[in-house]
Chain A
């Protein structure tokens, strides 16, 4: 496996996972004006539920993943009702919500530790099949990640562009008062947005749990990277977000390969600061959908 193929593969896989995380974060950012610090622990929660469904209920991985995603959709509704709704309309509401999502992160991490215990676990891969591509071996989950990220983000794009709820999301984002005057209920939009974000994070979690060991904090790194993606890709378009995710993934893979695991984040965050200095809006502006 030559270096280039290895970097490309691992970069694109990382980019796919970050893209799934970042799309949800970006959607929450543009509608709620909130950075969801809980996104990492939602990813972990998705992974742990999938583990329970495969290892304890003996379900096939694909079914377990779907169930985990459904559970996290329900969690999303609770999340919105408990953490967003009570605070968002208050003075300084966005800040209150962010503090609430930080608090729930710590809480849920402890709960995961209590419920599932400290053992290292993994969720089986979606398929044991692997593909060889110009010298690099692509595992089942990597393959699923590579395909799923653009497909799911593309589907989200279409939903935002064409469906009534998607149009409501965009309307609320673009003009809150006028959106309310045409009968859009912000609360309904918020629930939708948070559920979508949870679903995407959960799916990323299931994929990640097949690639590395699960821990309650397994979402921390992807969360930080997704945060960088928002800076790179802007929060204005899903296309920009996904492009930013691949860029970060590739950058991380390349820096890890050449400089090692400990230097990679340093370079990544330096790059982010440079981008923010040069392009405060991120590399791509304007939501088109």
Chain B
């Protein structure tokens, strides 16, 4: 069986510095995977390559058998590979409602927009209350919710979340973690990158640890969560 999304021997960098040094990973249909690893080791760079924002120097990224590399970010999006980027400032001078409309604009299925909006508001009731507010005036947690809401409006087949809980207070973090676990059940596939190892291991089926641009470890998330060896591995990084 071929994977839904696969990354094969991916190399990428910025100018002369190489960041990714041969990444291999795959995501099957119905699966959620987590990416773990210390800061600055290439997780975001990998995701930017998937979405067509950054050109890798070697390797391939395939979605349902076809390479994504020649595609523009828009074309990748329209295939259903949707990314919620790390720490986005969003569109600070647009209202929450406009931002969500923008997220839905690229969705080829127009009739899906209304139900998707209801779904987003169901997941994050705060966004509905604040739909006339400018995105730039939202709190950090609300901004993350809006960012995810924008992604959902595109009707993702694979949703990629890059550090959704970065820098959030524990209470908001739990709220988002709950939402992510709910999403997990509804989406075809999910890729979750987060510094909160506990969240990642509880919301995914499998995990990869990326270090120095390579996958240094991979395993079953449930086993990972129980594994004392994993714990010590990460406590070393905190």
B215 within 8 A of A: no
Q: List B contacts of A182 (CB < 8 A).
A: 77, 102-103, 105-106, 150, 154
A287's partner among B72, B73, B93 (CB-CB below 8 A) is B93
User: Which of A108-116, A164-172, A242-250 lies at the interface?
Assistant: A164-172
Q: Are B73 and A174 in contact (CB under 8 A)?
A: no
A274 within 8 A of B: no
Q: List B contacts of A164 (CB < 8 A).
A: 105
Rounded to whole Å, the gap between the CB of A183 and the closest CB of chain B is: 3
Q: List A contacts of B102 (CB < 8 A).
A: 167-168, 171, 182, 184
Known: A167-B98, A171-B102, A174-B94. A183 touches B154 (CB 8 A): yes
Q: How far is the CA of A174 from the CA of B135 in the complex (A)?
A: 11
B62 within 8 A of A: no
Q: How far is the CA of A175 from the CA of B87 in the complex (A)?
A: 12
Q: Are A286 and B85 in contact (CB under 8 A)?
A: no
Number of interface residues of B (CB under 8 A): 25
Known: A170-B91, A170-B93. A177 touches B53 (CB 8 A): yes
A57 within 8 A of B: no
B126 within 8 A of A: no
Known: A167-B98, A167-B101. A184 touches B93 (CB 8 A): no
A288 within 8 A of B: yes
Q: List B contacts of A178 (CB < 8 A).
A: 85, 88-91
Q: List A contacts of B114 (CB < 8 A).
A: none
Known: A183-B73, A183-B77, A183-B154. A177 touches B93 (CB 8 A): no
Rounded to whole Å, the gap between the CB of A159 and the closest CB of chain B is: 14
Kindly identify, within residues 241 to 289 of chain A, every residue whose CB is under 8 Å from any CB belonging to chain B.
Answer: 286-288
Known: A167-B94, A174-B94. A181 touches B105 (CB 8 A): no
Q: Which of A178, A179, A182 has the most CB of B within 10 A?
A: A182
A180's partner among B74, B78, B101 (CB-CB below 8 A) is B74
Tell me how many residue pairs across A and B have CB atoms closer than 8 Å.
66
Contact residues of A: prevailing secondary structure:
helix
Q: List B contacts of A168 (CB < 8 A).
A: 102, 105
Q: List A contacts of B101 (CB < 8 A).
A: 167
Q: Which of A164, A171, A185, A287 has the most CB of B within 10 A?
A: A171
A177's partner among B72, B78, B85, B105 (CB-CB below 8 A) is B85
Q: List B contacts of A180 (CB < 8 A).
A: 53, 73-74
B83 within 8 A of A: yes
Q: Are A181 and B85 in contact (CB under 8 A)?
A: yes
Rounded to whole Å, the gap between the CB of B56 and the closest CB of chain A is: 17
**What 8 pairs between A and B have smallest CB-CB spacing?**
A183-B106, A183-B74, A180-B73, A174-B91, A183-B77, A178-B88, A171-B91, A182-B102
Given contacts A164-B105, A181-B83, 6 further A-B contacts (CB under 8 A): A167-B94, A175-B92, A178-B88, A181-B77, A182-B102, A183-B78
Residue positions of B touching A, CB distance < 8 A: 51, 53, 72-74, 77-78, 82-83, 85, 88-94, 98, 101-103, 105-106, 150, 154
Residue positions of A touching B, CB distance < 8 A: 164, 167-168, 170-171, 174-175, 177-185, 286-288
